[in-house]
Structures are given as structure tokens and as C-alpha cells.
């Protein structure tokens, strides 16, 4: 029996800067779609990731992109380099501006001297990761938060990976410095294809800052209450249903 081809959704940066996983509750709300987590090459730049994505995926025809956190920047680069590949894009907890709070949260990592051991750097990683979530989530879901926090810290505290994370954060900060020029360069009507989902209590970029950027480019902005930066993890079902309504 012939089975219909499901529309592909590519989830960028779903696991805090390294890709490779999809939240089960979030994905369950997108039944009927093929949700694919895009796993980054270890030492890849934003431009290299976008080029690799277009090379591997463009032949599938138009696809939808979900960019979370710094995955927003890879999504933007993909859209800039190959606008014809885009069906729709949803930016969840997007980083669209180099804010003071983002710089301050990343500083313990970006400013860390070379040669630090795992034990030295883990407190900085924990502080950075802590900024992803709102206080309500951490209080109401302590076990889940500890699991995510441990996975993040264990992965990135390895000396070789810590250098990768530092380089990635440096590159992303530089990219954010010129992001307005990138957005102005879009050669299509982005207001019909790009949507923003922001956490009410995002510690990296406020709802007001998201609103100013969305208004400037005509993007549709939706704010989910009781959530921080990691919206699709803090409110997976609500976020998944919202994304589905956008894609439909």
C-alpha cells in the first residue's frame, strides 16, 4: 500500500549547541511530520553547517526549519544562502541580538584561560546552562533539570570539547554583531515564512526585544508563559502544538 510522504521538519540545535536529540513530548505533537534533529559536525562553523545542510537536504525540496537558541543562526544562514529550500521557519527561544545578559552568561566560558581541567570549568558550565531555564521550571521539575544539566556539563567539560564550545560561542557572538545586515539581505518576503516563539521569562533575550525585531521584519511573534529560553523543553506539548498550528 502506498504511504504518503511526510513533510520534513529539521530541528537545529535541539540539544544545547550540539544537536542530536528531539524532545519526545515536543515531537509527539507533530505527528504526521518527519522531525529530524540536525547533528552538528564537531568543529563546524555556522557557514559550514549551512552549506552542509543545503548540500545534503536541498534535493528533498522545500522543508521547514525549527531553530532553537543558537540554531536560529544556522537557520538564518541556510535561509540566506538557499532561500528556495524554505517552506517555513519557526525560531524558538531565538538569539537575534547580542544582549548584555547573553554576553554575561557566556563570559565565564568565553573568557576562561586555556588548559583548565574538567573540575575547574564545570561551575562555569553549570551557570551558563542554568540561564537556559526559568525558575518555575527548575523548581517544579528538579529531577528533569538535573538530568539535562548533568548531560550538558559532562559533554562540554571534556578539554577537547570545551575548546569547541568556546570557539562556537565566540563565532556566534560575532555573527550576532552583524545580524541586522544578514536579516536585511533576505531576498524574499520573510514575513510570510518566519515565525517567532519566545519564552515569557527568557533570560537571554526579552520578549520586548523579540517584539521589536519581529515588528521590524513583519514576523509573527507568540509568547509562551511560564517558560524561559528553552521553551520547547520547558513547555514541550504547548510548544509542539503551536509549531504544528504554524506549519499547518
For residues 183-187, give the mean pLDDT.
Answer: 69
Query: Which of 12-21, 58-67, 235-244 is least confident?
Result: 12-21
The pLDDT tens digits for 124-136 are 888 888 888 888 8
Task: Give the residues across from 63 on adjacent strands.
Answer: 86
pLDDT for residue 89? 92
Q: How do the domains of the chain map onto residue ranges?
A: 7-97+178-247, 101-167
The pLDDT tens digits for 36-59 are 888 777 778 889 989 999 998 877
- 210 pLDDT exceeds 70? yes
Residue 155: count other Cβ atoms within 10 Å of its Cβ.
17
E strand segments, the chain: 7-12, 33-38, 63-69, 86-94, 194-199, 220-224
Evaluate the CA torsion angle 84, 85, 89, 95 in order and state its sign. Answer: negative
* pTM, two decimal places: 0.86
CB 198 within 8 A of CB 173: no
Contacts of 51 (CB under 8 A, 6+ apart): 81
* Residues 203-241 as b or e (16 or more Cβ within 10 Å = b): bbbbbebbeebbeeeebebbbbeebbbbbbbbbbebbbe
pLDDT for residue 153? 78
| Greater pLDDT, 228 or 156 | 228
The pLDDT tens digits for 4-29 are 445 788 888 755 555 556 778 888 89
DSSP 35-61: EEEEPPPTT--HHHHHHHHHHHHGGG-
- Domain 7-97+178-247 sits in CATH at 3.40.50.1820
pLDDT bucket at 191, cuts 50 / 70 / 90: low
pLDDT for residue 6? 58
Amino acid at each position: 500500500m502506498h504511504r504518503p510522504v511526510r513533510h520534513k521538519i529539521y530541528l537545529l540545535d535541539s540539544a544545547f549547541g550540539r544537536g542530536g536529540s528531539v524532545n519526545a513530548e515536543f515531537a509527539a505533537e507533530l505527528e504526521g511530520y518527519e522531525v529530524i534533529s540536525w547533528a552538528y559536525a564537531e568543529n563546524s562553523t555556522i557557514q559550514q553547517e549551512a552549506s552542509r545542510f543545503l548540500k545534503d537536504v536541498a534535493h528533498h525540496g522545500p522543508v521547514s526549519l525549527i531553530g532553537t537558541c543558537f540554531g536560529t543562526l544556522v537557520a538564518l544562514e541556510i535561509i540566506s544562502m538557499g532561500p528556495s529550500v524554505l517552506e517555513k521557519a519557526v525560531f524558538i527561544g531565538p538569539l537575534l541580538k547580542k544582549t548584555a545578559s547573553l554576553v554575561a552568561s557566556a563570559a565565564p566560558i568565553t573568557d576562561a584561560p586555556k588548559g583548565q581541567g574538567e573540575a575547574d570549568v564545570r561551575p562555569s558550565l553549570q551557570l551558563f546552562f542554568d540561564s537556559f531555564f526559568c525558575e518555575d521550571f527548575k523548581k517544579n521539575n528538579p529531577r528533569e533539570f538535573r538530568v539535562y544539566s548533568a548531560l550538558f556539563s559532562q559533554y562540554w567539560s571534556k578539554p577537547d570539547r570545551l575548546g569547541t564550545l568556546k570557539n562556537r560561542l565566540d563565532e556566534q557572538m560575532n555573527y550576532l554583531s552583524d545580524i541586522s545586515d544578514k536579516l536585511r539581505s533576505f531576498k524574499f518576503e520573510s514575513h510570510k515564512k518566519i515565525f517567532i516563539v519566545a519564552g515569557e521569562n527568557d533570560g537571554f533575550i526579552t520578549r520586548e526585544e523579540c517584539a521589536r525585531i519581529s515588528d521590524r521584519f513583519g514576523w509573527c511573534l507568540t509568547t509562551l508563559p511560564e517558560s524561559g529560553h528553552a521553551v520547547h523543553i520547558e513547555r514541550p506539548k504547548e510548544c509542539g502544538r503551536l509549531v504544528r498550528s504554524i506549519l499547518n
